[in-house]
Amino acid sequence: MMTEERTLMLVKPDGVASGHVGDVITRIENRRFKITAIRTLTASPEELRVHYQQLVGKSFYSGIEDFMTSGPIVAMIISGSDVVESIRKMTGPTDPAEAPAGTIRGDFARGWGDGPIQNVVHSSDSIESAEREIKIWFPDEK
């Protein structure tokens, strides 16, 4: 069933630094999804720990924190039919080396190897995650 819903996307520090904010927004708009809120910010370690609560205990978490707080990010709320699943598909797999051409990660990630994975964007993996994550980055949104 097609349901109207919303999701959260973050353009991560690598995506902003390499100039792909416009490319990401164009892909979203070309699919007729609506960006209903957008802001640029630099994430704090505290916000990130809430956002990545399921990863905080992992050995690689400090690398994620260093990377995600290393520069500005762009946070967006995106609305539309089945938007959570559609944006996840457009995002592509976590490892950019495995991300197919045509996905945001496959087309725009610059490098991988040692250290935290730098994969251009985050997108929520479920409606519940989206609503939880929207509260972190858009505390004034209903």
Which of 125/142 has CB closer to ligand TYD? 125
Q: How far is the CB of 135 from ligand TYD (least distance, A)?
A: 18
Name the burial class of residue 123, with classes exposed (0-12), middle (13-18) and buried (19+) by CB atoms within 10 angstroms of its CB: buried
CA distance 132 to 47: 12
Q: Fill in the amino acid letter for 61.
A: Y
User: Which window, 3-11, 34-42, 74-82, 119-127, contacts ligand TYD (CB under 6 A)?
Assistant: 119-127
Residue in this structure with the two tokens 């704090």, named with its chain if needed: 44
Q: How far is the CB of 65 from ligand TYD (least distance, A)?
A: 10
Among 34, 60, 62, 110, binds ligand TYD (CB under 6 A): 60
9: β partners: 76, 123
CA distance 96 to 22: 19
Q: How far is the CB of 134 from ligand TYD (least distance, A)?
A: 16
Backbone angles phi, psi at 50, to 5 degrees: -70, -45
Binding-site annotation, residues = 12, 60, 88, 94, 105, 119
Residues at the interface with ligand TYD (CB under 6 A):
55, 60, 63-64, 94, 116-117, 119, 122, 125
